Amino acid sequence: MIHFCLAHTAYHLHCWLPRSYRFRLQVTVFLFGTTALGLQLFVLLRPTSSRYCRQPLLTNLVGNIIFTFFTIGFTVLLTHMEPVPQALKKMFAVFGVGSFGEGACTVVLTVLATDCEKTTPELYYLSVLLSVSSLVSAVLFSGLALNWLASVACAPPDTKPMV
Protein backbone atom coordinates (compact mmCIF):
# COMPACT_ATOMS: atom_id res chain seq x y z
CA MET A 1 0.00 0.00 0.00
CA ILE A 2 3.00 2.27 0.44
CA HIS A 3 3.41 2.67 -3.33
CA PHE A 4 -0.13 3.95 -3.78
CA CYS A 5 0.22 6.15 -0.70
CA LEU A 6 3.33 7.89 -2.03
CA ALA A 7 1.86 8.64 -5.46
CA HIS A 8 -1.50 9.69 -3.97
CA THR A 9 0.17 12.02 -1.48
CA ALA A 10 2.36 13.55 -4.19
CA TYR A 11 -0.70 14.19 -6.35
CA HIS A 12 -2.61 15.92 -3.58
CA LEU A 13 0.40 17.96 -2.50
CA HIS A 14 0.81 18.98 -6.12
CA CYS A 15 -2.80 20.18 -6.24
CA TRP A 16 -2.56 22.11 -2.97
CA LEU A 17 0.80 23.81 -3.54
CA PRO A 18 1.12 27.10 -5.39
CA ARG A 19 2.42 26.77 -8.95
CA SER A 20 5.81 28.20 -7.99
CA TYR A 21 6.51 25.23 -5.65
CA ARG A 22 5.22 22.41 -7.84
CA PHE A 23 8.48 21.81 -9.70
CA ARG A 24 10.34 21.48 -6.40
CA LEU A 25 7.81 18.88 -5.27
CA GLN A 26 8.21 16.95 -8.53
CA VAL A 27 11.99 16.90 -8.17
CA THR A 28 11.78 15.89 -4.50
CA VAL A 29 9.35 13.06 -5.18
CA PHE A 30 11.41 11.84 -8.13
CA LEU A 31 14.60 11.86 -6.05
CA PHE A 32 12.83 10.05 -3.20
CA GLY A 33 11.50 7.43 -5.59
CA THR A 34 14.84 6.84 -7.27
CA THR A 35 16.54 6.62 -3.86
CA ALA A 36 14.04 3.99 -2.73
CA LEU A 37 14.53 2.17 -6.01
CA GLY A 38 18.31 2.34 -5.60
CA LEU A 39 18.07 0.88 -2.09
CA GLN A 40 15.90 -1.98 -3.33
CA LEU A 41 18.25 -2.70 -6.25
CA PHE A 42 21.24 -2.59 -3.89
CA VAL A 43 19.66 -5.23 -1.64
CA LEU A 44 18.62 -7.28 -4.67
CA LEU A 45 22.17 -7.38 -6.02
CA ARG A 46 23.83 -8.22 -2.69
CA PRO A 47 25.42 -11.69 -2.72
CA THR A 48 23.82 -12.53 0.62
CA SER A 49 20.33 -11.89 -0.80
CA SER A 50 20.59 -14.95 -3.03
CA ARG A 51 21.13 -17.31 -0.08
CA TYR A 52 18.43 -19.77 0.85
CA CYS A 53 15.39 -18.47 2.67
CA ARG A 54 12.21 -20.49 3.21
CA GLN A 55 9.95 -17.61 2.21
CA PRO A 56 10.20 -16.02 -1.27
CA LEU A 57 11.42 -12.65 0.02
CA LEU A 58 13.63 -12.18 -3.04
CA THR A 59 10.68 -12.68 -5.39
CA ASN A 60 8.63 -10.31 -3.27
CA LEU A 61 11.41 -7.73 -3.50
CA VAL A 62 11.29 -7.96 -7.30
CA GLY A 63 7.54 -7.31 -7.09
CA ASN A 64 8.18 -4.30 -4.86
CA ILE A 65 10.72 -2.98 -7.37
CA ILE A 66 8.15 -3.28 -10.16
CA PHE A 67 5.60 -1.41 -8.04
CA THR A 68 8.22 1.27 -7.31
CA PHE A 69 8.68 1.80 -11.05
CA PHE A 70 4.92 2.16 -11.42
CA THR A 71 4.85 4.57 -8.47
CA ILE A 72 7.43 6.82 -10.10
CA GLY A 73 5.53 6.68 -13.40
CA PHE A 74 2.16 7.46 -11.85
CA THR A 75 3.67 10.26 -9.80
CA VAL A 76 5.17 11.87 -12.89
CA LEU A 77 1.92 11.51 -14.83
CA LEU A 78 -0.36 12.72 -12.03
CA THR A 79 1.77 15.77 -11.27
CA HIS A 80 2.15 16.82 -14.91
CA MET A 81 -1.40 16.42 -16.19
CA GLU A 82 -4.08 18.97 -15.46
CA PRO A 83 -6.84 17.83 -15.49
CA VAL A 84 -6.12 14.15 -14.92
CA PRO A 85 -7.97 11.99 -17.48
CA GLN A 86 -10.63 9.63 -16.18
CA ALA A 87 -8.83 6.59 -17.67
CA LEU A 88 -5.68 7.44 -15.69
CA LYS A 89 -7.73 7.75 -12.50
CA LYS A 90 -9.19 4.29 -13.10
CA MET A 91 -5.75 2.80 -13.78
CA PHE A 92 -4.50 4.45 -10.61
CA ALA A 93 -7.35 2.89 -8.63
CA VAL A 94 -6.43 -0.55 -10.00
CA PHE A 95 -2.82 0.20 -9.07
CA GLY A 96 -4.01 0.99 -5.53
CA VAL A 97 -5.70 -2.40 -5.22
CA GLY A 98 -2.57 -4.11 -6.53
CA SER A 99 -0.41 -2.09 -4.16
CA PHE A 100 -2.59 -3.18 -1.26
CA GLY A 101 -2.20 -6.81 -2.34
CA GLU A 102 1.57 -6.45 -2.62
CA GLY A 103 1.72 -4.85 0.82
CA ALA A 104 -0.37 -7.64 2.33
CA CYS A 105 1.89 -10.27 0.74
CA THR A 106 4.96 -8.46 2.04
CA VAL A 107 3.57 -8.40 5.58
CA VAL A 108 2.60 -12.08 5.53
CA LEU A 109 5.90 -13.22 4.03
CA THR A 110 7.91 -11.13 6.49
CA VAL A 111 6.02 -12.47 9.49
CA LEU A 112 6.63 -16.03 8.28
CA ALA A 113 10.32 -15.41 7.48
CA THR A 114 11.82 -14.81 10.92
CA ASP A 115 14.45 -17.50 10.27
CA CYS A 116 15.66 -15.54 7.21
CA GLU A 117 17.08 -12.87 9.51
CA LYS A 118 20.24 -14.95 9.91
CA THR A 119 20.65 -16.13 6.31
CA THR A 120 19.63 -13.00 4.37
CA PRO A 121 19.77 -10.07 6.82
CA GLU A 122 19.62 -7.17 4.33
CA LEU A 123 16.71 -8.72 2.49
CA TYR A 124 14.87 -9.50 5.72
CA TYR A 125 15.30 -6.01 7.19
CA LEU A 126 14.24 -4.34 3.94
CA SER A 127 11.19 -6.59 3.97
CA VAL A 128 10.46 -5.52 7.56
CA LEU A 129 10.79 -1.86 6.52
CA LEU A 130 8.43 -2.35 3.57
CA SER A 131 5.98 -4.27 5.78
CA VAL A 132 5.83 -1.58 8.44
CA SER A 133 5.44 1.17 5.85
CA SER A 134 2.67 -0.81 4.12
CA LEU A 135 0.84 -1.29 7.41
CA VAL A 136 1.13 2.40 8.30
CA SER A 137 -0.13 3.51 4.89
CA ALA A 138 -2.99 0.96 5.00
CA VAL A 139 -4.10 2.32 8.38
CA LEU A 140 -3.85 5.88 7.02
CA PHE A 141 -5.94 5.08 3.96
CA SER A 142 -8.47 3.14 6.03
CA GLY A 143 -8.99 6.27 8.10
CA LEU A 144 -9.29 8.41 4.98
CA ALA A 145 -11.77 5.95 3.44
CA LEU A 146 -13.92 5.98 6.58
CA ASN A 147 -13.82 9.78 6.59
CA TRP A 148 -14.86 9.87 2.93
CA LEU A 149 -17.69 7.37 3.53
CA ALA A 150 -18.93 9.46 6.45
CA SER A 151 -18.92 12.61 4.32
CA VAL A 152 -20.88 10.82 1.58
CA ALA A 153 -23.38 9.19 3.94
CA CYS A 154 -23.93 12.25 6.12
CA ALA A 155 -23.83 14.94 3.43
CA PRO A 156 -26.93 17.07 2.97
CA PRO A 157 -28.75 16.13 -0.25
CA ASP A 158 -28.06 19.46 -2.00
CA THR A 159 -24.26 19.45 -1.56
CA LYS A 160 -21.56 17.37 -3.20
CA PRO A 161 -19.29 15.18 -1.05
CA MET A 162 -15.69 16.20 -0.68
CA VAL A 163 -13.35 14.05 -2.77
- Per the structure, the complete domain to which residue 56 belongs is given by 2-150
Q: Is residue 139 part of a domain?
A: yes
What does the pLDDT read at residue 160?
A: 61
The sign of the CA dihedral 32, 36, 37, 38 is positive
Name 104's Cβ contacts closer than 8 Å, sequence gap at least 6: 134
Q: Is residue 11 part of a domain?
A: yes
What does the pLDDT read at residue 163?
A: 61
Give CA–CA dist 43/31, Å, rounded.
Answer: 18
Q: Is residue 162 part of a domain?
A: no
Give CA–CA dist 42/28, Å, rounded.
Answer: 21
Give CA–CA dist 15/127, Å, rounded.
Answer: 32
What does the pLDDT read at residue 65?
A: 95
Q: Domains in the chain: how many in total?
A: 1
Q: Is residue 6 part of a domain?
A: yes
Q: Is residue 160 part of a domain?
A: no
Q: Is residue 84 part of a domain?
A: yes
Q: Is residue 159 part of a domain?
A: no
DSSP label of 84: P
From first to last of the 163 residues of the chain, give the pLDDT tens digit: 889 988 998 888 888 888 888 888 888 888 988 999 999 999 999 888 878 888 889 999 999 999 999 999 999 898 888 888 999 999 999 999 999 999 999 999 999 998 888 888 999 999 999 999 999 999 998 888 888 788 878 867 665 666 6
What does the pLDDT read at residue 159?
A: 58
